[in-house]
Amino acid sequence: MHPSSLDQHTTRIDRRRPIIIITCFFILFIFIIGTAIPAVDAFCDSWRPKHINLHLQQPRTFGAKSSNPKLFIASHYQSLTKKMTLTSTEMKMSDIDNTNCIDSSTLTQIKAGFIGCGTIASSIATALATPPHSTHLAQHAGLSLHSISVTKRSESKSSKLKQSFPDIVTIYDSASDVVHNSNVVFLCVLPQQVEKVLDELKKANVWRKEEHTLVSLVATSNVEELILQSNLPRSRVYKMICLPSIAKREGCALLQRAPSSAPIALPSQSPTDDSRNNNSANDKNEQHTFIDNTDANNSLNEGNDNNNNIDIKAMLMALGGCVECRNDTIMNTMMITSCMMGPLYGVMRANRDWLVKNGVTPEDASYFVGRSYLSMVQDAERNCQDPKRFDDLIEEQTPGGLNEQSLRNLEKQKVFESYDRTMDAILSRLQGTSDGSLPS
Ligand SMILES: NC(=O)c1ccc[n+]([C@@H]2O[C@H](COP(=O)([O-])OP(=O)(O)OC[C@H]3O[C@@H](n4cnc5c(N)ncnc54)[C@H](OP(=O)(O)O)[C@@H]3O)[C@@H](O)[C@H]2O)c1
């Protein structure tokens, strides 16, 4: 070969070398991916809980979302693993509407009814009806929403709900019609309206023991009284407390169910006993001894109350979170946390005002305080099921640093004892033993 044509040939090879190297790498990459996916799949198979299997049996649906079903399943496993350690906020952000993956015939249908259609009823109805929430209800509670029935009163609110969810919401003139068309009935009227409403429903004979579940949102409700007023089985009567933020799957609901046995009065307690006439919201259950009286239970639990029984706790877990309280005392104590919203805003306002006093513009101060506190609370919420979470966060503060010193200064000034006294006072107001105010 002529030296100049040899040169040209070498130059051509030199020019092609990067292309050849890239092609080799690409083939190697495809080979690795091809080997890794079945390995990941097999690994995931080995730890995947059985109930998750249920949702993964339909690769067709996954295929619809990804050109490579296996790749989609592998990434779905990763997101499931991640979700186990995610905060509820992060879970919201990772919402994937894959309700289609779930065999709808396995889901229990909720026909929700609301007696009283004010602030809290609208919030719970919105939580149930908001389309992306259906995924959570299906996956975490095995539920699907069939319909929402509401009473007409507070027409501005009931019609707004109807406008928001026209295919789901039906407005009825009477509470009886709402009960007729529901299997879970939320009682959302004011305390002074409860007796009249429940009396009317009892007279109308609308409660069906094998069909209805009653959930009272009224803060002063007592589960034993609700059982007597509705004559429903004990396992189908609940008291619940939540904030309007449930509409966005935020916050955490409190739930109380009746103990499995009916309360039997202690011999020393006659019906005229003062304690029995105590109208406070304090735990009436604790004034009784509970015995496991199967006959007494059966007489209250006529009908097969396991049929169509909706798992209210699972439903609330799917709608943001739920803590179950074993009696009125615990329920009232837990409610005090929701009364700390005002003090929290008070701290934020004081922080904003202090910044403004020191030359920051009100807009910057307000924006900065809002965003900063949000990130602090989000951080605290992560893994908050660990009882030592808040201690750990405090422990993490730099020793001798500014945060540690701020906390120590507040402790020296007995600020947290002040918080304790405030919570005690508000609890005693809730129990009816004081007006809740502290001496100035
Ligand atoms: N708001 C909250 O954040 C919150 C949180 C937890 C618990 N709760 C509890 O939930 C209950 C409702 O609170 P809310 O804030 O939603 O009150 P609300 O906005 O005043 O709603 C009460 C509703 O009940 C209706 N009502 C009254 N009598 C009725 C009857 N006989 N039949 C049908 N509906 C009737 C009212 O209609 P009209 O307007 O026509 O009278 C109104 O729509 C209260 O017991 C409250 O303690 C509230």
Question: Residue 207's domain is classified under what CATH number?
Answer: 3.40.50.720
- How many angstroms separate the CA atoms of 154 and 118, rounded? 6
Residue whose pair of structure tokens reads 């006529």 in the numeric block = 302
Residue whose pair of structure tokens reads 């449930």 in the numeric block = 246
Atom number, ligand 1, closest to the C-alpha of residue 158: 43
For 179-200, how does the pLDDT look when each residue is reduced to its tens digit (9 = 90+)?
Answer: 999 999 999 999 999 999 999 9
Tell whether ligand 1 has an atom less than 6 A from the beta carbon of residue 339. no
Residue 101 in domain = no
The protein residue with its alpha carbon nearest to ligand 1, atom 34, reads: 116
Residues 351, 319 within the same domain: no
| Cβ 338 vs Cβ 425: under 8 Å | no
Looking at 316, 338, 360, which one is the last position of a domain?
A: 338
Against a cut of 0.75, is the pTM above it?
A: no
Tell whether ligand 1 has an atom less than 6 A from the beta carbon of residue 341. no
Give per-residue burial for 80-112: e unless 16+ CB within 10 Å, then b. beeeeebebeebbeeeeebbebbeeeebbebbb
Mutate-to-test residue for ligand 1 from 120, 201, 246, highest number of ligand atoms within 8 A of CB: 120
> What confidence score (pLDDT) does residue 300 get?
35
| pLDDT surpassing 60 at residue 61 | no
Mutate-to-test residue for ligand 1 from 126, 152, 154, 238, highest number of ligand atoms within 8 A of CB: 154
SS (H, E, C) 195-253: HHHHHHHHHHCCCCCCCCEEEECCCCCCHHHHHHHHCCCHHHEEEEECCHHHHHCCCCE
Mutate-to-test residue for ligand 1 from 153, 206, 221, highest number of ligand atoms within 8 A of CB: 153
For the chain, how many structural domains are there in total? Answer: 3
Query: For the chain, first and last CA: distance in Å?
Result: 106
Looking at 338, 362, 382, which one is the last position of a domain?
A: 338
Atom number, ligand 1, closest to the C-alpha of residue 196: 31
Q: Looking at residue 184, what DSSP letter applies?
A: E
Looking at 338, 354, 389, which one is the last position of a domain?
A: 338
Provide CB contacts within 8 A for 34, sequence distance 6+.
none
Provide the residue type at 12 as one letter.
R
| Cβ 146 vs Cβ 169: under 8 Å | no
For 109-149, how does the pLDDT look when each residue is reduced to its tens digit (9 = 90+)?
Answer: 999 999 999 999 999 999 999 999 999 999 999 999 999 99
Tell whether ligand 1 has an atom less than 6 A from the beta carbon of residue 218. yes
Residue 439 in domain = no
Residues 150, 79 within the same domain: no
- How many angstroms separate the CA atoms of 415 and 412, rounded? 8
| Cβ 160 vs Cβ 125: under 8 Å | no
Tell whether ligand 1 has an atom less than 6 A from the beta carbon of residue 154. yes
Domain limits for position 51: 19-85
- How many angstroms separate the CA atoms of 338 and 388, rounded? 21
For 85-96, how does the pLDDT look when each residue is reduced to its tens digit (9 = 90+)?
Answer: 344 444 444 444
Atom number, ligand 1, closest to the C-alpha of residue 190: 45
Percent of the chain with pLDDT over 90: 60
Residues 148, 228 within the same domain: yes
The protein residue with its alpha carbon nearest to ligand 1, atom 32, reads: 116
| pLDDT surpassing 90 at residue 319 | yes
